[in-house]
Every structure is written in C-alpha cells, then in structure tokens.
C-alpha cells in the first residue's frame, strides 16, 4: 500500500527589499504548513527579495542580505523536520532546498522569462547544462550553521525515503519541452513550481490548464505564486497557489485576497500516480530517458501512523470557479490599490470625479477596495486592521473599525467635481450621486477663475485672444483652450490632495495619492484602469450596478462619452467618438494593434536624452521598483551591527605581532 503524503504550497504577499518582512512571512508559512502536518513546503519565486527588485538584482549587497535571510530561516527552530523549497536570487534565479539545517540543493532556473513584463535575462543567467550538477561554495554565514563548505548546484531531483521531487520555476512550465516531462520519465512523482505570475484578465484558466495537462499522465504538482503589489508599481501577482493530482485540483488559494500569508495543504495518495503510470509505452520511454542525479533527503514525506488512521484521507477534488472579467476588474485593481496605499504610508486617495465613465470606474474600484478591507477586518485580519487604523489616523487606544464600506470610503477616498462653464448639469449630478452612493468625501467646485487667469495672461502678453472652434477659432486654438482646462485640473487636484488631510484635521496625516482615469492631459500617482478598454469598463460598471447595489451607475453606462472641454451650443455638443472619428469599440481593436500615433501619451515620465551611465530614465535605462520599504530597516540594522563591530575592534589595541589585547 502506497503512503499518503501531506504537502503544502503557498501565496505570500512579499515586498521588494523588505528582507525582514519577507523572511517573517516565509517562516510563518512554514509554521502553518507544519501545523497542518506537511513534510514539504513550497514558496513563490524569489520570495526572499520579492520578485520585482529589477536592477537591484545587479547590486552586490542584495546577495549578502539574501544569504543572511537564508541563514535565519535555516537556523530557525520552526523550520526543522520539514523539506523547505525557497525562492532566492544567487546571480541565478534559484530554488534553495533546505532540510534540518542543511542545504540539499540549489536549483537554478533554466528557462528565463523575457517577454512582455519580464526581463529576467537582464539580471540573471540561465542554467544551460541539463542534468549537470557541480559544487557551489557556500557563504561563510550559512556554512557556519550547516557545517557545509559546498553544496550541489544544478539540474537535479530530490529523493526522499518514499518519493522523488522535481523542480520547475515559473516560465519553465510554459515552455513546449518543459523540464517536468523529462523528470517524470525519470520517476519523479511530485513536481514543484514556484512562480511570480502577474494578473491579467482571463489569464488564470490558461495557467491552470497547463498544470492540469502536465499531470494528466500521472503526477502531483505543487504551484506556488506571489500575491500582491510587491513594489513594481504596475503588476499585481494573483496568488492562486494550488495542488494538483493527475490533472485534478485538490487545493487552491484565493486569486485575490488581502491575506499576507495563504497556505494550501493537501493529503495526496502516491498510489494514484503510480497506478496511472503503468502503460508499457510510457515505461519504454522512461527506460530510454537520460538519468538525473538524485540528491538524497533524509526524510519521509509520509507518516507510518497515517496508513492505519481512518481520519487521514486523500483530499477531495475541488471544482474550480473562475472569476468573470468583471469580477477580476473589481478585485485585482482593488487589491493593488490597497497594497500601494498601505505601503506608501499615505492617507488615502484623491480622485477628480468628472461624471464620466472612466472616473466612475476608478471610484467604484476604490469602493470595491473598501469592501474587501471591511470584510478582512470582520474576519479578524490583524494586519489589515492595523493598517486601516494607521491610514485613517485612529488613536492608539481606540478599537475603531469601519462598520460599512461607505464609512471607510468616506475616510479614504476624496472625490472632486471640477466644473467649468463647459460642464453640464448632468455630469455634475452624476458625480454627486455616485459619491453619495459610495460614501466618498465629495467636493463640488467651479474653476473658471483659474482657467480665465491663464487665458487672460496669454492675451495680456501676446495681445491675441484664442477662441473655441464653435466661436470661429482654429483647431489649434480650440485644442489649447481645452488643454488649459485639463491641465489646470491637474494642478488643482494635487493641491487638494496635499492639503485635504489638514482641512479634515487629521493629526500627522500624510497627503493623498492622486488617482488617474485616463492617459490624455491628466497626471496622477496611480492609474487603476490604464490598460482596460472601454468595453470591459462598461461591462464592469454594469456588473457593479447590481452586485454593489449602486443604481446611479446606469446613467454612466448610457451617457455619451464627452470631455466637456468645449462650449455646448444648440447645434454642437462635444463627443469623444465624433472627435476621434471612430467608436470606442473600434479604438479597442486599434489598441491591440499597437498603433504609434498616440504612443507619446503613454509615456508617463518625459523621455530624457541618454548621455551618461547614471541616467535615471525610468523603466528604460534604469529599471527599478516604484514602492520601497520606508528607511530599509533590515539593511540599516546590518549597517549598525557592522559599525558597532568596527567600534569594538577600534577599542581593542593590536600589538606589533598583530595580536589584539583587550584594553585595561
């Protein structure tokens, strides 16, 4: 009778360069896995540092801190008697396999991700020697704990007393000739995949289908993935850690959640794998396959006591239900906003609410964030509770928690209708009603005086009075007058964002993050909908009207899209689609074809001429995260420890023979 095996995988909300926090979350996931009876724990890709360190992966001190964190994990009492699979950079994008204060294997990634949002070839070297293993000389800080001078590094598999484990990392799963095929033919029964896979609409099913296909011929697959906004600023990693047996799902974590540590544990039957692999043709292929070196792990993943325990049974299959695209828009950007808000240590959001579809979508997404936060508070998520109290500046002795999403929205989201003579009553009223429905702190103002001041200044200096097209002006004049309104809103928005916390008498509060709703004349800190087209937004708002019980959304969905930057006359009302010469449905097609006419509008930071190696042209020459841990506590702590060691050494005089003697 084959043994039952208890195994765990996880989703962790890691943060770039937050070595202290990342290590703490890793240890907590190991603690939870052990408490559930697991003998194997798998974590996300590059979990020690966070996936999105980007050009920081080229810095030497990062690797020093990585090994310091690995040493902490290896020596931690809660990290014993369990086989641990940890993601860490060591110039290679690697997996570190640890058991009872010893490193068994360093498994470098063989096929790096280099498409779309991924640039791993910029920072790492792929392991180009299949089935080859050599010695890695350990850093002293780790060797002093493990008693090892060298450890195996390369393309190998791990053998326990009762099974064999093969290792894949993220992109390797998506390759046509993925390593799991060859490891399976070499007798590997359990496959681990540690990933840093980001959220895209409709993407999760593709990922799950790939894993299911890999194990339909027999195999157990543990998939781990990072969760959250880890500092990249653009990506949200959507968790969904899972355990699969022969193509079936027996465990899966949430795709969207505010949990920092989410561990999935399942009991699996190795006999299910072995009985599926009995075909003669498969055995013939296996006999011809080149062998992998096996690294012995002195552990059994099963327990003898479980064989006769009627309470220990294989985990039942799970029927997966995928989120609709509308639900994904409601949840993904909402979780992304929460991570950015709490980690930036700002006081909330400021949103220019125009009464149009785009800004309404951003407002509803922010309201969705408030719904998630309130739900997490009710569930007793202490990390979320602490963050929300800090953000809204609650006294330390207070036990305040938001009762409703609207109550929290009123403290976090600040909306503002910035009207001009070109604005309509309809958009003003829609903005007011939506703000009331979601509970935001709403301001309704007219800013004609600001627009007129700029226009009058130009006329005073040049003696030229620009006119709108409907008043006989040229297209150039018309565009200039529209831009004055749009860009004045930019400046006014930032002033309100900086000073509203003072107006609301929040002691010690920071400023607000400005939310953008489009890529034309706006500027902001965050844009939750910048890569979502109008059709998906309309579908999302239609869904939210029912599921969030916001009837006013109906008027946004059916309103004619307009910027309201030109005067309204009896014969003319400005329309986005008329001015573009195409519908938004047609624009969506062009967007996918990547036309170049409006490329400059997508460049958030003004392009700079590259003249020196110290250029900080963002996301081009210099690729770095946007959101960092405040003050780098782990790094500064290590610097202080080093300084103290130097001071102690300075107090110890050295004789002419070079021997140190303590001062009297």
CB 133 within 8 A of CB 121: no
Six-digit token pair at 505? 């008498």
pLDDT recorded at residue 291: 93
Mean of pLDDT values over 81-86: 98
The DSSP code sequence of 258-321 is: --SEEEEEEEEEHHHHHHHT--HHHHHHHHHSPPPPEEE-S--SB-HHHHT-TT--PPPP----
Mean of pLDDT values over 52-79: 97
Query: What does DSSP assign to residue 308?
Result: T
Residue 596 has pLDDT above 50, yes or no: no
Does some domain include residue 508? yes
Whole domain around residue 234: which residue ranges?
4-307
Does some domain include residue 37? yes
Residue 144 has pLDDT above 50, yes or no: yes
For 40, the 3-state DSSP assignment is strand
pLDDT recorded at residue 605: 60
Residue 662 has pLDDT above 50, yes or no: no
pLDDT recorded at residue 397: 85
Q: Is the same domain home to 162 and 206?
A: yes
Residue 505 has pLDDT above 90, yes or no: no
pLDDT recorded at residue 506: 84
Residue 77 has pLDDT above 70, yes or no: yes
Q: Is the same domain home to 263 and 399?
A: no
Exposure string for 566-597, b = 16+ CB within 10 A, e = fewer: bbeeeeeebebbeeeeeebeebeeeeeeeeee
pLDDT digits (tens, 9 = 90+) for 386-445: 999 999 998 888 899 999 999 999 999 999 999 999 889 999 999 999 999 999 999 999
Mean of pLDDT values over 345-354: 93
Lowest mean pLDDT among 184-198, 234-248, 329-343, 526-540: 526-540
Q: Please, what is the average pLDDT of the chain?
A: 90
Does some domain include residue 484? yes
Residue 519 has pLDDT above 50, yes or no: no
CB 467 within 8 A of CB 473: yes
Catalytic residue of the set 45, 272, 328, 518: 45
Domain termination site, one of 531, 566, 585: 585
Q: Is the same domain home to 343 and 398?
A: yes
Catalytic-residue membership of 354? yes
Q: Is the same domain home to 378 and 276?
A: no
Catalytic-residue membership of 109? yes
pLDDT recorded at residue 609: 58
Does some domain include residue 603? no
Q: Nearest CA to 242 among 255, 260, 228, 257?
A: 255
Mean of pLDDT values over 14-27: 98
Does some domain include residue 646? no
Q: What is the CATH number of the domain that holds 43?
A: 3.60.110.10
Overall number of domains in the chain? 2
With bands split at pLDDT 50, 70 and 90, how would you rate the model's confidence at 595?
very low
Longest Cα separation, the chain: 99
Q: Is the same domain home to 294 and 346?
A: no
Length of the chain: 664
Residue 603 has pLDDT above 70, yes or no: no
Stronger pLDDT, 581 or 411, i.e. the higher one: 411
Residues 431 and 452: their CA atoms lie apart, in Å, by 24
pLDDT recorded at residue 615: 64
Stronger pLDDT, 618 or 387, i.e. the higher one: 387
What's this model's pTM, rounded to 2 decimal places? 0.91
Q: Is the same domain home to 442 and 522?
A: yes
Domain termination site, one of 554, 585, 616: 585
pLDDT recorded at residue 442: 98
Catalytic-residue membership of 170? yes
Catalytic residue of the set 11, 195, 197, 354: 354
Query: What does DSSP assign to residue 3?
Result: P
Does some domain include residue 644? no
Mean of pLDDT values over 89-102: 98
Q: What is the CATH number of the domain that holds 510?
A: 3.40.50.620
pLDDT recorded at residue 664: 34
Domain termination site, one of 551, 585, 619: 585
Residue 16 has pLDDT above 80, yes or no: yes
Catalytic residue of the set 170, 214, 377, 409: 170
Instruction: Give the percent of the chain with pLDDT over 70.
Output: 91
Residue 368 has pLDDT above 70, yes or no: yes
Helices (H) and strands (E) in the chain, counts: 22, 20
Q: Is the same domain home to 143 and 61?
A: yes
Mean of pLDDT values over 99-103: 98
Instruction: Give the percent of the chain with pLDDT over 90.
Output: 71
Q: Is the same domain home to 241 and 349?
A: no
Residue 656 has pLDDT above 70, yes or no: no
pLDDT recorded at residue 551: 96
Residue 513 has pLDDT above 90, yes or no: no
Residue 154 has pLDDT above 70, yes or no: yes
Can you give the three-state secondary structure of 530-595, one letter per residue? CCCCHHHHHHHHHHHHHHCCCCCHHHHHHCCCCCCCCCCCCCCCCCHHHHHCCCHHHHHHHHHCCC
Does some domain include residue 255? yes
Mean of pLDDT values over 368-389: 97
Q: Is the same domain home to 362 and 297?
A: no
In which residue are the tokens 């030497």 written? Answer: 60
Residue 78 has pLDDT above 50, yes or no: yes
Residues 505 and 552: their CA atoms lie apart, in Å, by 31
pLDDT recorded at residue 45: 98
Residue 492 has pLDDT above 80, yes or no: yes
pLDDT digits (tens, 9 = 90+) for 216-239: 889 999 999 999 999 998 899 999
Q: Is the same domain home to 15 and 132?
A: yes
pLDDT recorded at residue 520: 45
With bands split at pLDDT 50, 70 and 90, how would you rate the model's confidence at 663?
very low
Does some domain include residue 614? no
Catalytic residue of the set 109, 259, 411, 545: 109
Q: Is the same domain home to 301 and 342?
A: no
CB 239 within 8 A of CB 632: no
Residues 350 and 610: their CA atoms lie apart, in Å, by 34
Q: Is the same domain home to 365 and 286?
A: no
pLDDT digits (tens, 9 = 90+) for 538-564: 999 999 999 999 999 999 998 877 777
Residues 545 and 430: their CA atoms lie apart, in Å, by 14
């Amino acid at each position: 009778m084959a043994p039952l095996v208890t195994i765990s995988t996880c989703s962790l909300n890691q943060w770039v360069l937050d070595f202290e926090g990342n290590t703490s979350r890793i240890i907590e996931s190991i603690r939870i896995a052990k408490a559930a009876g697991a003998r194997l724990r798998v974590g996300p890709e590059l979990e020690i540092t966070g996936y999105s360190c980007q050009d920081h992966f080229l810095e030497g001190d990062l690797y020093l801190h990585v090994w310091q964190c690995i040493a902490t994990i290896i020596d931690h009492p809660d990290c014993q008697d369990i086989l641990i699979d940890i993601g860490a950079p060591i110039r290679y994008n690697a997996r570190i396999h640890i058991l009872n204060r010893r490193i068994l294997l360093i498994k470098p990634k063989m096929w790096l991700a280099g498409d779309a949002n991924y640039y791993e070839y910029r920072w790492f070297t792929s392991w180009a020697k299949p089935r080859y293993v050599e010695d890695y000389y350990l850093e002293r800080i780790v060797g002093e704990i493990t008693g090892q001078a060298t450890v195996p590094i390369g393309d190998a598999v791990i053998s326990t007393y009762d099974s064999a484990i093969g290792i894949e990392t993220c992109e390797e799963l998506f390759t046509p000739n993925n390593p799991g095929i060859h490891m399976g033919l070499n007798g590997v029964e359990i496959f681990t995949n540690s990933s840093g896979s980001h959220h895209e609409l409709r993407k999760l099913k593709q990922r799950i289908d790939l894993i299911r296909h890999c194990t339909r011929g027999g195999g157990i697959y543990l998939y781990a993935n990072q969760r959250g906004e880890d500092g990249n600023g653009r990506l949200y990693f959507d968790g969904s850690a899972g355990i699969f047996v022969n193509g079936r799902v027996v465990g899966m974590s949430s795709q969207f959640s505010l949990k920092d540590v989410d561990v999935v544990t399942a009991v699996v039957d190795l006999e299910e794998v072995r009985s599926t692999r009995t075909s003669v043709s498969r055995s013939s292929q296996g006999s011809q396959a080149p062998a992998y070196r096996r690294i012995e792990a002195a552990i059994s993943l099963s327990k003898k006591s479980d064989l006769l325990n009627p309470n220990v049974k294989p985990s039942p299959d799970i029927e997966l239900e995928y989120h609709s695209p509308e639900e994904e828009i409601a949840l993904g950007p909402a979780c992304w906003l929460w991570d950015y808000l709490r980690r930036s240590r700002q006081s909330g959001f400021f949103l220019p609410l125009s009464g149009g579809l785009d800004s309404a979508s951003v407002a509803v997404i922010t309201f969705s964030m408030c719904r998630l936060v309130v739900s997490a508070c009710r569930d007793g998520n202490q990390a979320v509770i602490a963050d929300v109290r800090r953000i809204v500046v609650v006294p330390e002795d207070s036990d305040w928690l938001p009762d409703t999403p609207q109550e929290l929205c009123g403290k976090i989201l600040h909306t503002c209708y910035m009207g001009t003579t070109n604005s309509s009553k309809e958009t003003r009223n829609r903005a007011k009603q939506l703000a009331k429905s979601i509970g935001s702190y709403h301001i309704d103002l007219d800013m004609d005086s600001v627009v007129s001041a700029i226009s009058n200044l130009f006329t005073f200096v040049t003696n030229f009075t620009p006119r709108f097209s409907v008043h006989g002006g040229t297209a150039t004049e018309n565009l200039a007058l529209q831009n004055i309104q749009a860009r004045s809103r930019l400046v006014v928005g930032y002033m309100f964002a900086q000073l509203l916390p003072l107006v609301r008498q929040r002691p010690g509060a920071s400023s607000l993050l400005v939310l953008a709703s489009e890529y034309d004349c706006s500027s902001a800190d965050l844009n939750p909908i910048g890569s979502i087209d109008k059709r998906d937004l309309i579908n999302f708002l239609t869904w939210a009207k029912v599921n969030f019980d916001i009837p006013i959304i109906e008027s946004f969905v059916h309103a004619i899209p307009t910027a309201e930057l030109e005067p309204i006359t009896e014969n003319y009302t400005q329309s986005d689609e008329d001015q573009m010469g195409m519908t938004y449905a047609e624009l969506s097609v062009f967007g996918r074809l990547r036309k170049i006419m409006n490329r400059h509008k997508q460049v958030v930071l003004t392009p700079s001429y590259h003249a020196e190696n110290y250029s900080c042209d963002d996301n081009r020459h210099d690729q770095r995260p946007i959101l960092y841990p405040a003050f780098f506590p782990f790094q500064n702590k290590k610097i202080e420890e080093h300084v103290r060691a130097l001071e102690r050494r300075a107090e110890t005089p050295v004789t002419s023979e070079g021997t140190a003697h303590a001062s009297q």
